Structure 1
Amino acid sequence: MTITDAPTATRPAHRRRLTRTLLIWLLVAPAAIWFVIRGFGFERDRFIQLIAFTPYVALWSAIPALVALVARRWAAAAVAVLTAFGLAMGVVPRALPNLDRGPSDGTAITVMTANLLFGGADPASIVRLVRENDVAILAVQELTEPAAGALDAAGLGDLLPHRSVNAEAGASGSGLYSRYPITEPGSWRTDGGFLQAYATVRVPGAVPITSESAHPLAPAVPESFSGWRSDLAGQPAADPDGTPRILLGDFNATLDHKLLRDLVGTGYRDAADATGKGWIGTWGPYDGDPIPPVTIDHVLADERIGIRDVEVHGVTGSDHRAVIAELTLPEAR
C-alpha cells in the first residue's frame, strides 16, 4: 500500500514546488527584461516613456532577488541578483559626486534652465531665481510672446540684457538670455517642431562659449516617438576642437535613455550627475499630476568646463523645476 501510494502522495508537493518556482520567475522576469531594454537601448514605443522611471525599478529589483534567495531558487536568484546589481550600477552613481568634475581653475559662471509650460510660468519666480542665484545665462523653453514680455516687465532685461529669443505660441518657443555680450545669435527648428535658441557668449576673462536652449520633442503620444528619437539624435555633439558648448534645457529624456547617454558620451558632463544630484526630480508631480518625479531637465557642459555645484528649484506655474548649475569656464589665453 505504501509503495503504490508514494507517487500519488508526492504529486501535490511537486506541483506546489513548480508553482512557487514559476511565481518567483514571474516576479524576477519584469526587472530582468527592464534591465536588458535599458542597458542596450532597446526602448521603443511606450517603453520610451517608462524607461524614465528606471531608478524606481532599480530600487524594487532588490525584492525579487531577496525572495528568490530566501526560497532557494538559485537560478532565479542568480538572474535577480545580477539584474539588481546591473540596474544599481546604472543609477546609483548619479547620487555620488564624481571625482572628475573638470577644471576647478578658471572663470566662475552660473547658468539656469527653466521650462515655462506654454509660457504660463510666473515671471517673477523666474526673475527671482536669476537674481538670487546670480545667474548669468538663462535658457527657457516653451517661451511665448506674452511670456517674453512679462519676463522683461518683471525685470529680466535689467539682469540679462543680451538675448537670442524666438518666441512662439504653444510649446515650441525658445529663448537664451545673457548678462554678457553675445555673438552669432540664432535658433533652429528640430524635426519635432521645437525651436532651440543659441548664441556665443563672451564672458570676460574666459574663452567664448556656445550656449543653447535644448528642447527635443516630448514622447507624449505614439505619434511623437519618432520625432523624439530624431530630435535627441540631432542634438549638437560636443566638439573637442571647437568652441566649448553648454546644452541646457528640457531634454525630455533621463540618463536611462541611451540616446541621451550617447550625447553625453560625445564629450559632455551632466552637471547634476557630476555633483551627485542626478536623482533630483525636475518633472512629474509639480503641477499636481500624480506622476513620480523624473529628471529630464539637464545642464550638459563640455568636458573642458568644470562643474562646481547644481541646485534645483520649483517654478510657480510650471510643471518643471529650474536647474541651476555653477560652472568654471576655461580662461582666455
Structure 2
Amino acid sequence: MTTLFAVVVILAWLWLGLSALPAGLEAHMPMPYMIALTPFLWVPLVILAGMAAWQHHWGAVCLLLVTALMTSSQRISYWGTGLRTSARPVRETTRETNPEPRETSRETLPNQFSVMTLNCRYGRANAANIVAAIRERNIAVLALQEVSDELIARLDAAGIADLLPYRQSGDPQDSDNGGYNVLFSRYEPASAVPNVVTIPAADVPALTLKLAADSAVTDNTDSDSRTVTFCSAHPKSPMRGCADWSAGILGLGAIAKASSIGEHNIAVVMGDLNSGTDHPSFRALLKAGFKDASLTQATGPNLTFPRWVKWPRIELDHVLFTAGLKPSGVKAFEVKDTDHLALAATLTVR
C-alpha cells in the first residue's frame, strides 16, 4: 500500500508539472484537458490521504495533503494570495474612491461602465435573456461569441438596438469555431474593425470608444485622445487542434502590445478564451500586458463552464484589460439555452 501512495504522489506531481511547461508546449493532446482538470485532483488525493491515515502511514498523509494543496494553487490566487503579474503599486485617485458615474453623451465612454461576455452555443442562446441582462445590469459593451445570423435576428426582435445601438461583427467564415464574434455598444465608436488581430479562429472584432474628458485626465497625456478598445475573442478549443488553440490564446497578446494602445490607451478583451490560469498559454497572455478581472478583484474565481452543473466547473470565459482600469462586481450568471455562464464586470477608469 505504501508503494501505491508513492506512485500516486509521483503521478500527481508529474500532472502538476504540465502547468509549469513553457507556453505552447502544452499544445498536445490530452495535455490541455489534463491541465484544465488540475484543480480537481485534490479530490482523489484527499480520499487517499484518508486511507493512508486509517493505515497510519503518516508520511504518505503529509505528502498527499501537500500535493492536494498544490493542485489548487492557481485557484487560491483568486483570493489575492498568489503571485501577481505586476507588483507595481497604483496610486489611488478620486475616481477610484468615488466612482459615481456621470452623464455623458453617446459619443464618449464614462469613467465607470459595465461589460458582459457570453458564448452563445452555436447561436442558440436565449435572446430575451440576453437583452434582459443588458437592461438589468446596465451593460455598456456586450461581447458575444458563437453567434449566428438567426441569433442576431432574435436579438433585434427583442430590442437590443434600443439599449446597445452600435455593433461590429467579425466576418463569418467556414473556419469559424461555432459561429462568429460580435460586439454591441451603447456609445458611438470612434472606429471599428471586423478583425483587429489574426489568430487561427473566428475574427476578433474591435470597437474603439473615446473616454469622456473627466475620465481621460492623466498626469502626462492629452485628455482629449484617450480611448478604450474592446474586443470579442474566441480561440479554438483543443479538440479543434491543440496548436491552433495555443496560438489563438498567445496571439491575443498582440492587442496589448499594439502601438495604438501603448501606455496611454486601454484595451479590453472579452470572450470564451478556452483556457484558465492553470494553462501556460493563458498565463503568457497575461504577461503580455493583460490583467484578468476575476484575479484582480481577488474575491474568488468565476467559473463559467458547464452551465448545467454547479460542480465541477472550470473557468473559460474572461474579461481582460490593460493598465488603466479597476474591476469590481465581477460575476458569472446564467443565460438560458447556452452551455456557458455569462460573465459581467464593472470597470472604472483609474
SS in 2 for 1:34: helix
1:236 paired to 2:220 = no
Instruction: Give, in angstroms, the shift of residue 285 of structure 1.
Output: 4.5
**In 2: Cα distance, 1:266 partner to 1:65 partner:** 39
Q: How does 1:35-114 map to 2 (within 5 A)?
A: 35-41=16-22, 43=26, 44-64=28-48, 71-72=56-57, 74=59, 79-96=63-80, 104=96, 107-114=111-118
Structure with bigger helix share is 1
- Structure 1 64/31 Cα, relative in aligned 2: closer, same or farther at 3 Å? farther
**Percent identity over the alignment?**
27
Aligned residues: 306
| AA matched with 1:91 | R
1:30 corresponds to which residue? 11
**In 2: Cα distance, 1:324 partner to 1:121 partner:** 16
Q: Is the 8 A contact 1:190 1:216 kept in 2?
A: no
- Match of residue 266, structure 1, among 281, 288, 291: 288
- Structure 1 59/266 Cα, relative in aligned 2: closer, same or farther at 3 Å? farther
1:249 paired to 2:279 = no
Decide which structure has the larger Cα Rg and report it.
1
Q: How does 1:114-129 map to 2 (within 5 A)?
A: 114-129=118-133
- Match of residue 282, structure 1, among 304, 310, 335: 304
TM-score by length of 1: 0.82
**In 2: Cα distance, 1:192 partner to 1:26 partner:** 39
- Structure 1 325/126 Cα, relative in aligned 2: closer, same or farther at 3 Å? same
Instruction: Give, in angstroms, the shift of residue 218 of structure 1.
Output: 1.1
2:103 corresponds to which residue? none
| AA matched with 1:164 | Q
Q: Deviations over 1:166-193 (max 9, x none)?
A: 3637723111111111122112275433
**In 2: Cα distance, 1:280 partner to 1:244 partner:** 23
Instruction: Give, in angstroms, the shift of residue 109 of structure 1.
Output: 0.7
1:3 corresponds to which residue? none
1:220 paired to 2:239 = yes
**In 2: Cα distance, 1:291 partner to 1:85 partner:** 18
1:136 corresponds to which residue? 140
SS in 2 for 1:150: helix
Instruction: Give, in angstroms, the shift of residue 112 of structure 1.
Output: 0.4
| AA matched with 2:335 | V
**In 1: Cα distance, 2:238 partner to 2:126 partner:** 25
**In 1: Cα distance, 2:12 partner to 2:78 partner:** 20
| AA matched with 1:300 | L
2:184 corresponds to which residue? 177
Unaligned 5+ residue runs, structure 1? 1-19
Bigger Cα displacement from structure 2, 56-65 vs 291-300: 56-65
**In 2: Cα distance, 1:50 partner to 1:303 partner:** 32
Bigger Cα displacement from structure 2, 63-72 vs 210-219: 63-72
Unaligned 5+ residue runs, structure 2? 100-110, 216-225
**In 1: Cα distance, 2:11 partner to 2:120 partner:** 36
| AA matched with 1:112 | M
1:186 paired to 2:170 = no
Instruction: Give, in angstroms, the shift of residue 234 of structure 1.
Output: 0.6
2:106 corresponds to which residue? none
SS in 2 for 1:182: coil
